[in-house]
Structures are given as structure tokens and as C-alpha cells.
């Protein structure tokens, strides 16, 4: 890969490392330094080098919304990423659970992504993991804004071999009742509204030992954040429940962004750049992306994950603010 492409992808990374709402991990970087530096670049290179089938998992259900539904952060980024990968000649699937399926169905329809490539998994079915994996040839497994389980004493102990932190500190901060539980950013356990799709990441090596995993998140409770030390996330997460929230599931590469949609979109742009397929990115400018969000809200009651309202916004950001990183990426590509 040429140096100019490397520099451009690093510029994409800088554009998504902003947090105007001061609610996610990116806001902490000015105080504590960058997280997962160059993981966007490495993830794009990994896809560009060997991708044959990419499976993308997404959907974050918000049970506390006036009309409970999946949030607007995650599905648009995941489906746009899948659409761009398809344009680059890479086979894709988008995977979710039953509660998030209506919003994902609306999202794939809005983007014109084939419904046949949307898979709704039911973990209540015996052998669901074996059944799904037996029909695939996965080279890459990606999570976009998908909540995963919190740490246990075992996962904390095994996270890094050189940790020197006193075990009692973790025990004091994380009660056993919160071990291995999915939490929202308010520290509430949401297991009953979250199918355990994280198990696909845990069992992937049994079926596809060479497959590469990528996590994309913004808050610390998403699949992939186990790549970062629990105590590092604890001091950075903007919540009084910061010790309960960190997800224990690690990935090979973990993209941290101001919103997860930004991370997925930047990865899509980076892969398109490597495949010389950037023209398709310009099909998804401001008006088109607003139509996607509006369709998700109108057809499936998608909600803003911060405000919990049925509105075509992402993480409480004004739409024009939300679009700035993507428009910045397109501007870079037209230089």
C-alpha cells in the first residue's frame, strides 16, 4: 500500500476521533492519550489483504425508550460498510437478533442492500452457532455498536499478563452480580433484551481459526473493547457506573470513534480506497444519509440512543454535526 493511502486513512481516523457530545471514549483522549491507535488502518489492511466473506453483527436495543426499539447508531454504519465491501467484490452478511430485526430490515431496505443478506439469529434454538457457522466461509467477523458482556474475575485476571493492579480493587468496583452481564451506559443490566451474539466471537476460532475479528464502538460496553485494559476504560468512560460497563470481548482490531457509525463508515471508505472503489462513497452524501435515518424511524421506530426519542439523529447530535466526519472523508478523497 502506498504511503499516500496510509496517510489518507490516518486522516479518516482523525476525523472520527471527535466527541462533540462529550459522552464517549474519544473525549478522554485529550487527557489520557489515544486508544487503539492505527487500528482503523490495520483493520482496513486486513480486510484488503484477505477478505472473502465478511460477517457484520450489529443492533443495540433500547428497552427504556417510549417505544422500545434498536438505536440509530450501528445499523446504518454496518449496512453501509457491507454495501461498500460488496462493491469491492467481497461477500457480506449482516447479522442481528429478533428485537433489532425490524430496524435492520428498514435499514437494508433504505440502503438497497439485499434482504437475503440480512440474517436474524435465534440463540434459543439448539446448536444455533454450529448451524450458522456451518453455512459460512468467514474470513472476517465485525461488530458495529453491539453490546457485549462485562468482565469477570477470570477475564480481568487473564486480560493482560503483566498487570500489577490489586485484585481487590476490581472486586470492590465490580460486584459479582454484575459479572458477565451486558450493561448500557447507565449501568443497567440489559441481558434480557440482548441476544448473546458475542458468543460468535468466542467460538469463531473453533470453526475459522484464521478469521480476523474487528470491533467498532464508542462507549466501552461494545464487543471489541476487551482489547483495552479494564482499568483504562474505567477511568475514561463518562459514566458514574464506569467500572461495570467495560466489555470483556476482545478483537484483533478495535476501532474507537465518536459514534460507531463513524467508525464503520471510515472503515468502509478505507477499504474502498485500497480497492480503488471510492466512487461509490459519493452516492451516500448528506441527503441520502438523512433519508436512511428518516426511513428507519418511520418504518421501524428506531430511536436515538442518547435521547431515546424516535428521531432521525444519532447519539443526540444535530444532523449536520453528525455528518461532518463523513463529509470530511469525501473531501479528502477529492483532493
pTM for the whole structure: 0.97
Closest to 186 in 3D by CA, of 232, 233, 239, 143:
239
Q: Which ranges constitute the DSSP H helices of the chain?
A: 3-16, 29-32, 39-50, 75-87, 101-111, 128-133, 153-159, 167-173, 199-207, 230-236, 260-274, 286-300, 319-333
Q: What is the pLDDT of residues 232-281, one digit of tens each?
A: 999 999 899 999 999 999 999 999 999 999 999 999 999 999 999 999 99
Q: What is the pLDDT of residues 53-80, one digit of tens each?
A: 999 999 999 999 999 999 999 999 999 9
Confidence of residue 23 (pLDDT cuts 50, 70, 90): confident
Amino acid at each position: 500500500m502506498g504511503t499516500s493511502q496510509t496517510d489518507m486513512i490516518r486522516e479518516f481516523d482523525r476525523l472520527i476521533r471527535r466527541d462533540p457530545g462529550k459522552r464517549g471514549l474519544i473525549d478522554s483522549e485529550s487527557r489520557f492519550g489515544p486508544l487503539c491507535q492505527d487500528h482503523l488502518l490495520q483493520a482496513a489492511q486486513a480486510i484488503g489483504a484477505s477478505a472473502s466473506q465478511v460477517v457484520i453483527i450489529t443492533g443495540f436495543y433500547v428497552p427504556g425508550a417510549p417505544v422500545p426499539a434498536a438505536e440509530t447508531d450501528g445499523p446504518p454504519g454496518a449496512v453501509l460498510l457491507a454495501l461498500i465491501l460488496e462493491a469491492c467484490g467481497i461477500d457480506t452478511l449482516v447479522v442481528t437478533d429478533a428485537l433489532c430485526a425490524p430496524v435492520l430490515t428498514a435499514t437494508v431496505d433504505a440502503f438497497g442492500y439485499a434482504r437475503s443478506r440480512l440474517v436474524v439469529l435465534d440463540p434459543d434454538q439448539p446448536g444455533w452457532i454450529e448451524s450458522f457457522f456451518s453455512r459460512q466461509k468467514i474470513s472476517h467477523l465485525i461488530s458495529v455498536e453491539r453490546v457485549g458482556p462485562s468482565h469477570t474475575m477470570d477475564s480481568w485476571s487473564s486480560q493482560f499478563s503483566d498487570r500489577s493492579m490489586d485484585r481487590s480493587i476490581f472486586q470492590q468496583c465490580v460486584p459479582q452480580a454484575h459479572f458477565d452481564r451486558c450493561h448500557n451506559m447507565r449501568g443497567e443490566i440489559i441481558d434480557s433484551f440482548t441476544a448473546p451474539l458475542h458468543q460468535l466471537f468466542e467460538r469463531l476460532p473453533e470453526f475459522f481459526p484464521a478469521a480476523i475479528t474487528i470491533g467498532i464502538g464508542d462507549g466501552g460496553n461494545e464487543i471489541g473493547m476487551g482489547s483495552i485494559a479494564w482499568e483504562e476504560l474505567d477511568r475514561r468512560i463518562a459514566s458514574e457506573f464506569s467500572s461495570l460497563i467495560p466489555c470483556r470481548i476482545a478483537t484483533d482490531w478495535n476501532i474507537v470513534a465518536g459514534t460507531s457509525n463513524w467508525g464503520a463508515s471510515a472503515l468502509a471508505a478505507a477499504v474502498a480506497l485500497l480497492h480503488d472503489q471510492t466512487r461509490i462513497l459519493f452516492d451516500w452524501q448528506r441527503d441520502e444519509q438523512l433519508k436512511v435515518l428518516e426511513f428507519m424511524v418511520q418504518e421501524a421506530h428506531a430511536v436515538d440512543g442518547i435521547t431515546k426519542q424516535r428521531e432521525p439523529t444519532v447519539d443526540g447530535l444535530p444532523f449536520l454535526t453528525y455528518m461532518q466526519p463523513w463529509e470530511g472523508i469525501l473531501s479528502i478523497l477529492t483532493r
